[in-house]
Amino acid sequence: MPVQASSKHSHTQPLKGGVVPYLMLEGAGAAIDFYKQALGAEEIGERVNMEDGRIMNARIDVNGASLMLMDPMPEHGHPAVPHDGFNLHLHVDDADRWFERAVAAGCTVAMPMSLQFWGDRFGMVKDPFGVRWGFGTTPA
């Protein structure tokens, strides 16, 4: 599996969070750029690329937690598959602000922001890469 080596890989800084999602997205590089705009993500370290330009390993931090990303690699047993049956929940200081920023960046509304039966303000969007993001805030 040829890769473009880098002296500064994303693992030089410890991962944040107890569970670190690893998303396989068609166009992982474009997704990283989108998440910077839509979610205020910070890219950590350098992307590790295959010789053909696909991302084999990259890291972003969002809202104090790490998220890993890669492009599909069907030749290594990792084909592209639809993202369904889960969402990535961000418990944030102001769910309305996060929700509105994501929608303004190009996410579609999957569940409008509203006060939920469990007491949080919560809403959900779907990004252009097929991932659903939930935004929640517990009112003071």
CB 47 within 8 A of CB 59: no
Residues whose CB is less than 8 angstroms from the CB of residue 33 and which lie 6 or more positions away in sequence, other chains included: none
User: Confidence class of residue 18 from pLDDT cuts 50, 70 and 90?
Assistant: confident
What pLDDT is attached to residue 5? 43
Residues whose CB is less than 8 angstroms from the CB of residue 71 and which lie 6 or more positions away in sequence, other chains included: 24, 25, 26, 27, 28, 29, 50, 54, 55, 56
How much of the chain, in percent, has pLDDT values that exceed 90? 78
CB 95 within 8 A of CB 103: no
Token pair for residue 76? 């290594």
Q: Is residue 31's pLDDT more than 50?
A: yes
pLDDT tens digits along 94-137: 999 999 999 999 999 999 999 999 999 999 999 999 999 999 99
What pLDDT is attached to residue 3? 47
**For residues 12-26, average pLDDT:** 89
Q: Is residue 4's pLDDT more than 90?
A: no
What pLDDT is attached to residue 83? 83
- Name all domains of the chain by residue range, CATH numbers in brackets: 18-73 (3.10.180.10), 88-137 (3.30.720.110)
What pLDDT is attached to residue 9? 47
CB 60 within 8 A of CB 43: yes
**Dihedral sign, CA of 54, 63, 21, 44?**
positive
